[in-house]
Amino acid sequence: MTEQEATALDSEAPESPVVPEYYVNSFNVSYSAYDAVAQFGRRGPRLEDLSAVVNLRMSLPQVWVLGTLLTKSMREFIKTHGPITLPRVVVEELGLVEEYEEQLKLGGTSNA
């Protein structure tokens, strides 16, 4: 492609839309045989104060890649900056005790 052709393509391309940003502090993931839906929301101080913000629909391969890349990225973050700390009761409620203790060790903290 010549520079002139590339310039012509650029001038025909629509302007990039502004990508919205959201703060979320709650999520739920549901699966089917073909895809998954991750619903992100904001939870208020009371349990019933939950509002959905955005639903992300993805193929199962996309979900696997996203999960794998997030895990890899978080491991590198923890190695560099230290472990992520959470209240023990939260870790237990989520059923993540083993994973939590693993990241504490990875980040240089051995006690949960």
- For 32-86, how does the pLDDT look when each residue is reduced to its tens digit (9 = 90+)? 999 999 999 999 888 788 899 999 999 999 999 999 999 999 999 999 999 999 9
Q: pTM to 2 decimals? A: 0.69
Please choose, from the candidates 66, 10, 99, the residue with its C-alpha nearest in 3D space to the C-alpha of residue 1. Answer: 10
| Residue 19: count of CB within 10 angstroms of its CB | 5
Q: Which run of H or of E encompasses 29?
A: strand 26-31
| DSSP strands (E only) in 32-94 | 35-43, 50-59
- What is the overall mean pLDDT for the chain? 87
Tokens of 109: 């903290």
> What pLDDT band is residue 112 in, cutting at 50, 70 and 90?
very low
